[in-house]
Amino acid sequence: MSTPSQIENRKSKIENGRKGIGGPKTPEGRRRVSLNAIKHGYYAKTDQAMEVLAEKIGSDYNELLAELRAHFKPCDALEELLVRRISRAAWRTFLTEAVENKELVKFGGMPGLTASYGDMIKNERYIDIQLHRALYALERKRSSERMLRNKLNLLPIHEGNS
């Protein structure tokens, strides 16, 4: 049988549950707390997370994306997707370098062989693979389009990139 204090405790828990205790309810509040766990940013996917990380390392993701768009001049949605993948991988490379520099300072010029440093090296390799896959996919797409245009004697779509 429950004691009066246990019954009172249970009632207060129910009331608190009804009050909505348990995190932010507004979209702005949820957006703000969604960034609480960002530590190194290797897996950041949202533009908002990329912006927060850009502030931490002093590099602007949007500037890099604009520069890569100007360089590759994507002409359709698939090329835009590939350019975004390239920009994220390149930016994560900058991020990895910033974290590595922080590790070097922390351990007096020699990075500590800690689990986090090992993870960083693995992530750097993974990022490099993703960057090269995206570059290869973009080049392969454009190459196949050039071959098709040559067969059909069409004008080039990418005048600056053909």
Give pLDDT tens digits for 1-14: 778 888 888 888 87
Any idea where the domains of the chain sit in the sequence? 1-33, 44-152
Contacts of 131 (CB under 8 A, 6+ apart): 86, 89, 90, 93
User: Letter for the amino acid at 69?
Assistant: R
pTM over 0.75: no
Statement: residue 44 has pLDDT above 80: no
C-alpha to C-alpha distance for 66 and 59, rounded to whole angstroms? 13
